Amino acid sequence: MSRIRPFHPGDEPALAEICLRTADGGGDATGVLGDDTIWADIFVLPYVARHPDAAFVVATDDGRVAGYAVAAPDTRAFAEWFRTEWWPAHGARFARPGATAREREILGYADRRSGAGETYAEEYPAHLHVDLLPELQGQGWGRRLIAEVIAALRAQGVPALHLVATAENAGALVFYDRLGFHRLPSEPGSQAFGMRLD
């Protein structure tokens, strides 16, 4: 039977695969970028490297990892670490010359990331990412993963968290509404959500 457990070192390849298979507005992003590893190096692997204690996975009964939730308790501090330590070590291997428009957009986001640029971090200091393979979707695993992250953040005294979804991922938008997140003013093409934890 599937179960939620804390992240363990060695889970990284499975998390990277899940990230890739859910990165295109909730769908499979395989082949969307010239290098499929870009997604995970931005959206999941830095989180488990920096905050493994705020990462949880769904382990299936056959031993696979098929979903995860990861968080940064302090978004601004995380973004500064990403800018000064993580991305210089990981981002340089991705080619910028000849990149497609989508690659330039994704890599540009990572290249420009900094603590000062985190729009929602003042009021909602933590942020999270959650992704499930299709086989687990619609079964309550996302809700349970987020509950684990929220409990971990509350134990650290974090007062609030936020997340950002792509505007075209209609299922995710409804999901976050149902979980009690409230919608925040957002850039075109995205929808941000916030939740108080205190």
DSSP secondary structure of 6-46: E--TT-HHHHHHHHHHHTBTTB--TTTSSSTTHHHHHHTHH
Q: What is the structure's pLDDT at 156? A: 96
Phi, psi of 76 (to 5 degrees): -65, -45
Q: What is the structure's pLDDT at 172? A: 85
Q: What is the structure's pLDDT at 196? A: 97
Q: What is the structure's pLDDT at 91? A: 93
Q: What is the structure's pLDDT at 126? A: 98
CB neighbour list of residue 69: distance below 8 Å, 6 or more residues apart: 55, 56, 128, 129, 130, 142, 145, 146, 148, 149
Q: What is the structure's pLDDT at 99? A: 83
Give the span between the Cα atoms of 84 and 3, in whole angstroms.
36
Tokens matching residue 67: 């979903």
- Element at 152 (helix H, strand E): helix 141-155
Are 110 and 117 within 8 A, CB to CB?
no
Tokens matching residue 192: 């941000």
Residue tagged 């992250």 (tokens): 149
Mean pLDDT, contiguous 10-residue spans, the chain (198 residues): 95 98 90 94 98 97 94 97 96 84 91 89 96 89 96 97 88 91 92 95
